[in-house]
C-alpha cells in the first residue's frame, strides 16, 4: 500500500508540477525526466522507510 501511494502521489502531484516548472524554465526534456525520476525514487524510499518503521493503513 505504501509503495502504491507513493507512486500515485508522484503521478498526480509531483510529476506534473515538476514538468511544468522545469519546462517553463526552458530545461531540456532529459533534465526534466531525470529530475522527475529522482523524485519518484525519493518518494519510494520514503515509503519503504515509513513501512519499515511500522506504518499501517488507517482503520476503515
Compute mean pLDDT per 10 residues along the chain, 60 residues long, and list them. Answer: 87 94 95 95 92 81
The whole-number pLDDT of residue 23 equals 94
Entry pTM: 0.80
Question: Which three cell numbers mark 36?
Answer: 522527475
Residues 9, 10, 12, 14: is their CA dihedral positive or negative? positive
Structurally, the chain folds into a number of domains equal to 1
On whether residue 8 sits in a domain, the answer given is yes
On whether residue 27 sits in a domain, the answer given is yes
Rounded distance between C-alpha atoms, residue 53 and residue 11, angstroms: 25
The whole-number pLDDT of residue 21 equals 95
On whether residue 58 sits in a domain, the answer given is no
The whole-number pLDDT of residue 60 equals 80
On whether residue 10 sits in a domain, the answer given is yes
On whether residue 59 sits in a domain, the answer given is no
Domain with 45 in it? 2-51
On whether residue 60 sits in a domain, the answer given is no
The whole-number pLDDT of residue 51 equals 86
Amino acid at each position: 500500500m505504501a509503495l502504491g501511494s507513493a507512486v500515485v502521489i508522484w503521478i498526480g502531484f509531483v510529476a506534473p508540477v515538476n514538468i511544468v516548472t522545469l519546462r517553463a524554465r526552458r530545461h531540456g526534456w532529459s533534465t526534466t525526466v531525470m529530475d522527475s525520476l529522482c523524485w519518484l525514487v525519493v518518494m519510494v524510499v520514503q515509503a519503504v522507510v515509513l513501512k519499515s518503521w511500522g506504518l499501517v493503513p488507517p482503520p476503515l
